[in-house]
Structure formats: C-alpha cells, structure tokens
C-alpha cells in the first residue's frame, strides 16, 4: 500500500508521474490534477503527449466545467463510488439473483392457471431473448441476472472481483462503467444476433460477456499478469485468455451457436472477449500502470512487459 502524495489516500496500485516522480491515486495521477511542477502548459504537443488519461479535466473554470468534470472526482456527486464500482456491480448481481428466485416468485404467485404467464413475465424481465431484442431493459437486466445454481453467479463474481478491480484502477470508475455495461450489452446483442442469423431461438443472461471483456483488457495491458487457476495453478493471463477463446470457438463450431451443447453462451463469451481485447488495444498507451500487481494471491505480474498482445 502507498499513500497518494496529493490527497494522502491509501492505494494498493499507485501511479508514478513521469514528470515529477511522485506517487498518486487514480484521481490525481494526471499532472494537472496534482499541480505537477513538471507540467508545461505551453507544450506545443499538448499536455496529453506524455501523460495520458481517461478522465475529464475539471481544473478549468467556466460554464461547462461542471458538465465535463468527472463525477467520481473527490467532492463530486459520485465520489463515494470512486474506485468501488466493481463492488457495486457485484452487489447488483447478487441482489438481482435474490429478486429472481426469492422475491419476485413470492410476490407474483398468481395460481397454476396462469403459470405460463408468470414464467413469461420472468423471462421478459431477466433474459435477453432473440424473439424480443426490442426489450431494451433486458439489454441491461440480463447482465446482472444469472441461473439459480450458485456456480454461474459465483464463477462470474470471482472473475469480476479479481479482474474488475484492476481494470477500474487502470481506466477510472467512469470509463469502467461504460466498459462493463457496454461490453455486457454488446456481447448479449451479438449472441442473439448470431442466433437470429442461424434461425436458432435463444434467451440468455449472465455477466460472463462483461467478465471476459475485463479479462481481455488485462490481457492486452498486462499480458504477463499471473492468475491462479482454482487458486492453485499459476498461469499467465494471456494463456488463460487463449484457452477461453479456443473453448468458445470450438463450442460455436462443434455445437449449436448459442448453447454449444452445454448451456453455455459461447457466442456471448467470444464477443465479450473480443470487445475487451479491442478496448485494451485502445487504452494500453493511455493508462499509467503500477510497476507491480498482485492478483488473487499469485506471484507478482510482469513489470509492464508486452506479451503476445
């Protein structure tokens, strides 16, 4: 753990400024956010040439400053959630799971004669269906919905807990929200779009698309990061990503597109993974990475070296 030189907040992944050498949290990692003495505002290449960011600059005054400022900044309306959106998403997943299987069935019991209607209501709320892609709310509710067995939601929770915290630290809470929700929505829509092309009706739910997008991002920006599979087997994250991609492609080709023969939305997984890899390529030169990162009790990750991605 280290303390931010600007605000004193403890952070397990401090950013080192390339200009002044100080250590800062995600909010103050930019030179203009910690009054860096090495910042030259008259640099013809602009302030973004050496120090990059994904957050909006809120240091300037003016009428529009309040509109463009990062809402997660210290003192901002969402400051409480800064650095905590991974936990917010995990909480929403488990709350939704409880509503799916305990609360909603309790308050919508309408008798055996209307059981089919009740079941359809459940599907309309919680699943993204190829029969009804126009149900916009389901684009988002399906991300947080999961199967009743704990394996589905627990598996996604573990991936998001370990990978999500790192990605949020790297790109900032605001961009992390767009990444998580955007990849979840696009993975789901890509999945049912492929099902519509093949004429195979399907419905899906789960945060796997978003979770694999997070893994894809880390694969690009920290390819040598060591992950403990089953908390025992040390594996570079790029190897794990390659295995997931292989399983997804094999599932699509060898089985049906949507289920892969094992109730697994392989197409959604592959779409999410590809989206994460693309986003990682986009931000890999725009984020400041800590020198070392520990993930899930594993060994320290590689010191910023570029792997196969």
**Which pLDDT tens digit goes with each residue over 110-148?**
555 567 778 888 899 999 998 999 999 999 999 999 999
- Whether 148 maps to a domain, the answer reads yes
- Whether 301 maps to a domain, the answer reads no
**Which pLDDT tens digit goes with each residue over 32-80?**
777 776 554 444 443 333 333 343 344 444 443 444 566 666 666 666 7
265 pLDDT higher than 90:
no
SS3 of the chain: the string is CEECCCCCCEECCCEECCCCCCEECCCCCCHHHCCCCCCCCCCCCCCCCCCCCCCCCCCCCCCCHHHHCCCCCCCCCCHHHCCCHHHHHHHHHHHHHHHHHHHHHHHCCCCHHHHHHHHHHHHHHHCEECCCCCCHHHHHHHHHCCCCCHHHHHHHHHHHHHHHHHHHHHHCHHHHHHHHHHHHHHHHHHHHHHHHHHCCCCEECCCHHHHHHHHHHHHHHCCCCEEEECCCEEEEHHHHHHHHHHHHHHHHHHCCCCCCCCCCCHHHHHHHHHHHHHHHHHHCCCCCCCCCCCCCCCCCCCCCCCCCC
The burial class, CB within 10 Å (0-12 / 13-18 / 19+), for 120 is exposed
Closest residue by Cα to residue 170 from 211, 237, 238, 218: 218
Residue 21's contacts (CB-CB under 8 Å, 6 or more residues apart) are none
- Whether 249 maps to a domain, the answer reads yes
- Structural domain of 64: 1-79
Q: Which tokens is 193 given?
A: 């779009």
pLDDT value at position 199? 83
Do 75 and 89 share a domain, yes or no? no
Name the domain boundary from 38, 55, 79.
79
Other residues' Cβ atoms within 10 Å of the Cβ of residue 37: 9
Do 149 and 213 share a domain, yes or no? yes
Do 73 and 90 share a domain, yes or no? no
pLDDT value at position 79? 66
- CATH number of the domain enclosing 236: 1.20.1540.10
- pLDDT level of residue 262 (50, 70, 90 thresholds): low
State the Cα–Cα distance between residues 147 and 152, nearest whole angstrom.
6
8 Å CB contact between 272 and 159: no
By percentage, how much of the chain surpasses pLDDT 90?
39
pLDDT value at position 54? 41
Q: Which position has the higher pLDDT, 14 or 239?
A: 239
Mean pLDDT taken over the chain: 78
- Whether 309 maps to a domain, the answer reads no
- Whether 293 maps to a domain, the answer reads no
Name the domain boundary from 79, 101, 128.
79
Q: What is the mean pLDDT of residues 270-289?
A: 89
- Whether 300 maps to a domain, the answer reads no
Closest residue by Cα to residue 14 from 165, 160, 170: 170
- CATH number of the domain enclosing 64: 4.10.1110
Do 135 and 36 share a domain, yes or no? no
Do 69 and 127 share a domain, yes or no? no
Q: Which position has the higher pLDDT, 279 or 11?
A: 279
> Among 4-13, 98-107, 191-200, where is mean pLDDT lowest?
4-13
**Which pLDDT tens digit goes with each residue over 221-237?**
998 888 888 778 888 89
pLDDT value at position 185? 96
The burial class, CB within 10 Å (0-12 / 13-18 / 19+), for 285 is exposed
- Whether 291 maps to a domain, the answer reads no
Task: Indicate the number of domains in the chain.
Answer: 2
Do 21 and 52 share a domain, yes or no? yes
Do 150 and 193 share a domain, yes or no? yes
**Which pLDDT tens digit goes with each residue over 148-192?**
999 999 999 999 999 999 999 999 899 999 999 999 999 999 999
- Whether 302 maps to a domain, the answer reads no
Name the domain boundary from 79, 96, 118.
79
Do 75 and 109 share a domain, yes or no? no
Do 74 and 95 share a domain, yes or no? no
pLDDT value at position 36? 72
> Among 25-34, 71-80, 82-91, 267-276, where is mean pLDDT lowest?
71-80
- pLDDT level of residue 30 (50, 70, 90 thresholds): confident
Do 37 and 51 share a domain, yes or no? yes
State the Cα–Cα distance between residues 143 and 204, nearest whole angstrom.
9
pLDDT value at position 260? 45
Do 223 and 263 share a domain, yes or no? yes
pLDDT value at position 289? 64
Do 15 and 145 share a domain, yes or no? no
Q: What is the mean pLDDT of residues 94-105?
A: 90
8 Å CB contact between 269 and 209: yes
């Amino acid at each position: 753990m280290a303390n931010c030189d600007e605000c004193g907040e403890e952070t397990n992944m401090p950013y080192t400024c390339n200009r002044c050498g100080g250590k800062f949290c995600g909010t103050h990692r930019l030179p203009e956010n910690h009054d860096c003495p090495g910042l030259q505002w008259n640099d013809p290449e602009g302030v973004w040439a050496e120090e990059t960011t994904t957050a909006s600059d809120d240091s300037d005054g003016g009428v529009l400053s309040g509109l463009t400022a990062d809402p997660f900044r210290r003192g901002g309306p969402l400051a409480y959630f800064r650095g905590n959106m991974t936990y917010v998403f995990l909480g929403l997943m488990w709350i939704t799971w409880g509503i799916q299987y305990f609360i909603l069935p309790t308050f919508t019991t309408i008798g055996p004669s209307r059981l089919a209607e009740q079941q359809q209501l459940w599907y309309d709320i919680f699943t993204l269906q190829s029969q009804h892609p126009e149900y916009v709310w389901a684009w988002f509710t399906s991300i947080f919905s999961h199967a009743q067995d704990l394996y589905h939601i627990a598996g996604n929770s573990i991936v998001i807990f370990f990978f999500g915290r790192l990605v949020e630290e790297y790109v900032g809470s605001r961009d992390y929200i767009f990444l998580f929700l955007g990849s979840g929505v696009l993975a789901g829509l890509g999945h049912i779009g492929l099902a519509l092309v093949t004429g195979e009706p399907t419905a899906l739910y789960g945060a796997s698309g978003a979770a694999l997008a997070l893994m894809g991002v880390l694969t690009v920006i920290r390819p040598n990061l060591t992950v403990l599979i089953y908390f025992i087997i040390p594996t570079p994250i790029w190897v794990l990503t390659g295995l997931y991609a292989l399983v997804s492609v094999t599932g699509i080709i060898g089985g049906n597109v949507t289920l892969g023969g094992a109730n697994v939305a392989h197409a959604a997984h592959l779409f999410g993974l590809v989206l994460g890899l693309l986003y990682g390529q986009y931000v890999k030169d725009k984020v400041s990475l800590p020198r070392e990162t520990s993930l899930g009790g594993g060994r320290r990750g590689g010191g910023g070296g570029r792997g196969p991605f």
